[in-house]
Chain A
Amino acid sequence: MNNFRYFPGSKNDVAKLYRFLGIKDKKELFGKIIGDIPLLDTNILQALTKEKDEDSLYNFFLNINSNIPVKNKFSIFVGGGVYNHFIPSAIDALISRSEFYTPYTPYQPEVSQGTLFALFEFQSMIAEILGMDVVNASMYDGAESLAEAVLAAIRLSSANRDLPVNRKEDIILISEGVNPNYQSVIETFTGGTGVKIEKIKLNGKTGQTDISDLKSKIAIGKTVSAAVVQQPNYFGIIEDLEELEPIIHFKGVSEPVFIVSSTEPHCFGVINPPGFYGADIFAGEGNSFGNYMNFGGPLLGLFAAKKEYVRQMPGRIVGKTKDGKNKDAYAFILSTREQHIRRGAATSNICTNSSLNAVRAAIYLSLCSKSGFKKIASLNLKLAHILRDGLLTTGLFEPLYTGDFFNEFSLKIKENKNNISAAGFIEEMAKKGILAGVAASEKVIIISATENNSVSEIEEYIKNVKEVLYA
């Protein structure tokens, strides 16, 4: 072979380049650049194997693929931040167009109108679904987006009080109903900055964020920058945002920023979105809209805010404008917030984001359209309720909370003969081809159902539960 398949230059071309530069060989080339730093001898590499031809490479992964027993062999009832939704073939077909997946960030708008237009439609549809004013064109995932929302809130509330950012007294209230991994990511982002995080308890009966605990923690004298809740929360319970909002927007020493998160935005096809209740920022996960689970990534971080806060938003925002001939055109706007202009004074360091996943979401929501979007949400709601009712009927579980839920709910395993824990239950169910849920504690399991689960899968789940817990 005269070249490796990914290099369009032949060995002769490489020789020609060396001649043109007046350099003898690789040793001289690198020697002139890096001096006495040694060159790596690739022959002695251990972890990197010999080259693989395309067919062997594919077969290598095909073999791995067939050793992972998931699709069509497993019923997936696990959520916990990523949900198993149906993905139409049209998305894969469209997204596999090189014009979408091989360019980079649209720094030159005239040759990137396709991506910019698609992202503008993404922003428009997400804004509509969330009931929010401005949506950015994307963050990495829901957790990172939420952490950035907390940072934005600290800047905002410091500005409201005319105080310097990152003061030691900044307190962030986080509901215990927020996904624990999201809470951890917030801690990573705020750790070492002096920001103090206080947790708000859940109401032991309903599973909603506890009103009296929230009231006591938001009380006069404390400088609370933000309060964060998740809709529906980690345990699947629908939060009463209408009741929370006036408490959070308490006009005492500070007026905290009301941040709502979500890991499952499909819920807003059925329930009122955060924008209807005066949420200042929404920051959550958008992977459910047309993206694969991909073993956890890449995901799609959604970030939205009221328009008065747009200058504190992180990330890229597409705006509509005109070209020289007065035709509609699209471009990134307000980039003075961003790192490539503002460097150390930027609102965030984010550059590369989840742009392609956002385009997938735009295609997905277009395919769903108005009626499909509502229908899917409704199916999720119904299937999850059928599953929960069926599981409760077995008498082997009791509900953890009484609050309303969308497509995810939490059950407590009652005392059983084998003293099976939630983790043990999941192990046993997996042996039967069912990914039964997430273990939230010793006896608590969080279960979800989507339009990808049929009634017969649900019946199978219930049948197997009896075998596992009666056995």
Chain B
Amino acid sequence: MPKFPGIKGMFLDEEPLIIQGSKGLSGISMPDCGLKKSDLKKSENAYINEKYIRKKPIRLPEVSEPTTVRHFTRLSSWNMCVDTVFYPLGSCTMKYNPKINEKIASLENIKNLHPLTPAGLVQPVLKIAYDFNKILCELTGLAEFSFAPQAGAAGEFAGLKIIKKYFDLKGENRKTILVPDSSHGTNPASSVLAGFMPVEIKTGKAGTLDADELEKYISKDVAAIMITNPNTFGVFEKDIKKISDIMHKNGSFVYMDGANFNAFLGNVMVSDMGIDIIQLNLHKTFSTPHGGGGPGSGAIGVVEILKEYLPIPYVKFHIKKSVNNKSELFYELAEDKKYTIGRMTPFLCSFAIVVRAYAYLLSLGRENIASVSEIAILNANYVKKKLGKILSGSDPFEEGLCMHECVFNDKAIEENGISTLELAKILIDYGFHPPTVYFPKNIHGAIMIEPTETESIKTLDNFIKAVKEIKSKAKKSEALKSPKKTKVGRVNEVMANKQPVFKY
């Protein structure tokens, strides 16, 4: 009987803070600002017009520091996370988040830096943004990146805006963005947001986009294709170069959704596939923590001819003579991009995310960077092959190798009377975070597993064993009640939506 890390511990119960604590308590240390007693005593209407002043009490908790700390610590224990369990959430690259990166991002002068500090005082910070940009160019083969987009979807939006502006300035009114039916939901959503019409292309049997199929959709109305590579089945788009050629011949662009870039890091430059624009999710491939849903960063990279369209501001330098007449580089925030799509965020970027991603690359260095995608691919194929034997007939792409993730349908588990949702919920009791489920939509009951390079064979074996045991032992009647060992049982999402309660 294999041992699984399934949750056995005790969950502590906890009520909302609003109903805890005695009246009038607070848990914050009020800075001693040295105000005179007379100023402290003055009422607010000595400063501003009476009519603006808030008189109704604000209904907030009334608790001390220890109560707050215990409350949120208890809450945290109700979460599964990368540091406690195997978290093979497909398409999300739940790799280990190195602790040193957190320490670096917490350095006093970095976290306390006001974005409007004069450039002369923040040279080292501007240099980080500049140097990190150069590394990303080198790893992708593209000409320049912008870190203004704050997540993958924002990166997509920026990329599409760039394409829109390019054609607007050329006087061409191209409206169509081609999107494979297996794409992330953000792709069509971003297309609409940027003022385009997304048109779905059917993917072939092998899960990939066929160059011949693509030809059918080509017209002068096509501005670009948004292609995820490897696609959302974890399969490499084998026709990618042909696809790029078709698009370029038509005067259209190739936008690559780089959410799955972990499959290429350090081994393949996207420029060699004819990619014009990519967004890199720093919270996926570059190890910055996912934060329970963010923050992230969706750095956007482009080829030479699109550099001047990137968002502003950006970091550039000029050579400056210093006091002792030595030449030195002076970095500054600039806005002189000729065709810029404009601003996406009030300041430069999510710098605290960029600094973590930069630290990650510096620790790997050129010696280790290529191992990232290599091991990620090996691990995914190990799961694909081994689990494929257990879930026989469930691998839609049995022939050939996957890249960083693999996907199964629900055929084999359905034969044993279990749905994908039930498999996911039972896996929780075994001590695993479920894979991505029911995505991509064109795989029946999809189970999408992305192990990443930061998992051992032992963990993968343990996970595979759990799936095997669930498949053979689980009973429908029991499955419906899973998970049983979590803080709460199966959540009633229908009720949550029917009678929505937004606040306490």
Do A61 and B77 have beta carbons less than 8 Å apart? no
Q: Does B345 contact A (CB under 8 A)?
A: yes
Do B57 and A386 have beta carbons less than 8 Å apart? no
Given contacts A49-B362, A94-B73, A385-B47, contact A370 B497 (CB under 8 A): no
Q: Does B63 contact A (CB under 8 A)?
A: yes
Q: Which of chain A's residues have a CB closer than 8 A to the CB of B62?
A: 369-371
Q: Which residue of B lies closest to A33 (CB)?
A: B236
Q: Does A342 contact B (CB under 8 A)?
A: yes
- Taking a contact as CB atoms closer than 8 A, the residue among B27, B79, B97 that contacts A115 in the complex is B79
- Taking a contact as CB atoms closer than 8 A, the residue among B76, B359, B386 that contacts A61 in the complex is B359
Q: Which of chain A's residues have a CB closer than 8 A to the CB of B75?
A: 113-115, 117-118
Q: Does A105 contact B (CB under 8 A)?
A: yes
Binds A, one of B377-385, B407-415, B465-473: B377-385
- Taking a contact as CB atoms closer than 8 A, the residue among B92, B291, B503 that contacts A124 in the complex is B503
Do B123 and A67 have beta carbons less than 8 Å apart? yes
Do A324 and B60 have beta carbons less than 8 Å apart? no
Binds A, one of B148-156, B213-221, B316-324: B148-156
Q: Which of chain A's residues have a CB closer than 8 A to the CB of B491?
A: 109-110, 321-323, 329-331
Do B54 and A37 have beta carbons less than 8 Å apart? no
Do B191 and A344 have beta carbons less than 8 Å apart? yes
Q: Does B65 contact A (CB under 8 A)?
A: yes
Q: Which residue of A lies closest to B453 (CB)?
A: A7
Docked complex Cα distance between A39 and B267 (Å): 5
- Taking a contact as CB atoms closer than 8 A, the residue among B272, B350, B361 that contacts A48 in the complex is B361
Q: Which of chain B's residues have a CB closer than 8 A to the CB of A368?
A: 26-28, 60
Do A372 and B28 have beta carbons less than 8 Å apart? yes
- Taking a contact as CB atoms closer than 8 A, the residue among A88, A103, A185 that contacts B82 in the complex is A103
Q: Which of chain A's residues have a CB closer than 8 A to the CB of B68?
A: 90, 363, 366-367
Q: Does A127 contact B (CB under 8 A)?
A: yes
Do A334 and B236 have beta carbons less than 8 Å apart? no
User: Smallest distance from the beta carbon of B146 to chain A beta carbons, Å?
Assistant: 12
Q: Which of chain A's residues have a CB closer than 8 A to the CB of B225?
A: none
User: Smallest distance from the beta carbon of A183 to chain B beta carbons, Å?
Assistant: 9
* Residues of B449-504 whose CB lies within 8 A of A: 453-457, 459, 481, 483, 486-493, 495-497, 500-504
- Taking a contact as CB atoms closer than 8 A, the residue among B47, B268, B493 that contacts A30 in the complex is B268
- Taking a contact as CB atoms closer than 8 A, the residue among A272, A307, A366 that contacts B53 in the complex is A272
Docked complex Cα distance between A152 and B329 (Å): 44
Do B31 and A451 have beta carbons less than 8 Å apart? yes
Q: Which residue of A lies closest to B108 (CB)?
A: A71
Q: Which of chain A's residues have a CB closer than 8 A to the CB of B54?
A: 268-273
Q: Which residue of B lies closest to A88 (CB)?
A: B28
Q: Which residue of B lies closest to A455 (CB)?
A: B34
User: Smallest distance from the beta carbon of B140 to chain A beta carbons, Å?
Assistant: 10
- Taking a contact as CB atoms closer than 8 A, the residue among A9, A114, A363 that contacts B79 in the complex is A114
- Taking a contact as CB atoms closer than 8 A, the residue among A102, A105, A135 that contacts B97 in the complex is A102
Given contacts A57-B359, A293-B112, A367-B68, contact A188 B502 (CB under 8 A): no
Docked complex Cα distance between A357 and B124 (Å): 25
Q: Does A355 contact B (CB under 8 A)?
A: yes
| A338-350 contact mask (Cβ, 8 Å, vs B): 1 or 0 | 1111111110111
Q: Which residue of A lies closest to B95 (CB)?
A: A6
Q: Which of chain A's residues have a CB closer than 8 A to the CB of B184?
A: 340
- Taking a contact as CB atoms closer than 8 A, the residue among B100, B344, B495 that contacts A57 in the complex is B100
Do A106 and B453 have beta carbons less than 8 Å apart? no
Docked complex Cα distance between A99 and B97 (Å): 12
Do B489 and A110 have beta carbons less than 8 Å apart? yes
Given contacts A47-B138, A123-B502, A192-B164, contact A187 B238 (CB under 8 A): no
Q: Which of chain B's residues have a CB closer than 8 A to the CB of A426?
A: 118
Given contacts A21-B381, A322-B495, contact A297 B150 (CB under 8 A): yes
User: Smallest distance from the beta carbon of A175 to chain B beta carbons, Å?
Assistant: 17
Q: Which of chain A's residues have a CB closer than 8 A to the CB of B5?
A: none
Q: Does B248 contact A (CB under 8 A)?
A: no
Given contacts A238-B48, A298-B353, contact A104 B94 (CB under 8 A): yes
* Residues of A309-356 whose CB lies within 8 A of B: 310, 316-325, 327-331, 333-334, 338-346, 348-356
Given contacts A64-B125, A65-B109, A373-B60, contact A316 B293 (CB under 8 A): yes
Do B60 and A367 have beta carbons less than 8 Å apart? no
Q: Which residue of B lies closest to A47 (CB)?
A: B134
Do B502 and A102 have beta carbons less than 8 Å apart? no
User: For B21, B139, B185, which residue has the most chain A Cβ atoms within 10 angstroms?
Assistant: B185
Q: Which residue of A lies closest to B359 (CB)?
A: A57
Do B289 and A379 have beta carbons less than 8 Å apart? no
Q: Does B337 contact A (CB under 8 A)?
A: no
Do A20 and B189 have beta carbons less than 8 Å apart? no
User: For A92, A295, A325, which residue has the most chain B Cβ atoms within 10 angstroms?
Assistant: A295
Do B188 and A296 have beta carbons less than 8 Å apart? no
| B69-80 contact mask (Cβ, 8 Å, vs A): 1 or 0 | 101110111111
Do A121 and B370 have beta carbons less than 8 Å apart? no
Do B352 and A297 have beta carbons less than 8 Å apart? yes
* Residues of A221-239 whose CB lies within 8 A of B: 238
Do A68 and B109 have beta carbons less than 8 Å apart? yes
Do B61 and A366 have beta carbons less than 8 Å apart? yes
Q: Which residue of B lies closest to A29 (CB)?
A: B377
Q: Which of chain B's residues have a CB closer than 8 A to the CB of A327?
A: 488-489
User: Smallest distance from the beta carbon of B487 to chain A beta carbons, Å?
Assistant: 5
Do A295 and B125 have beta carbons less than 8 Å apart? yes
* Residues of B264-299 whose CB lies within 8 A of A: 266-269, 272-273, 281, 283, 287, 289-297
Docked complex Cα distance between A456 and B154 (Å): 43
User: For A35, A107, A140, A405, which residue has the most chain B Cβ atoms within 10 angstroms?
Assistant: A140
Instruction: Give me 20 A-to-B residue pairs in the complex whose CB atoms sit less than 8 angstroms apart, sorted by A's number.
Output: A14-B374, A57-B104, A57-B359, A58-B103, A64-B128, A84-B112, A88-B65, A99-B84, A108-B80, A109-B491, A185-B346, A295-B347, A327-B489, A350-B154, A351-B153, A352-B152, A352-B283, A353-B293, A430-B121, A435-B114
Apart from A29-B378, A42-B370: 10 A-B pairs, beta carbons within 8 A: A17-B379, A48-B135, A67-B124, A68-B110, A110-B488, A140-B295, A271-B54, A273-B54, A297-B349, A343-B185
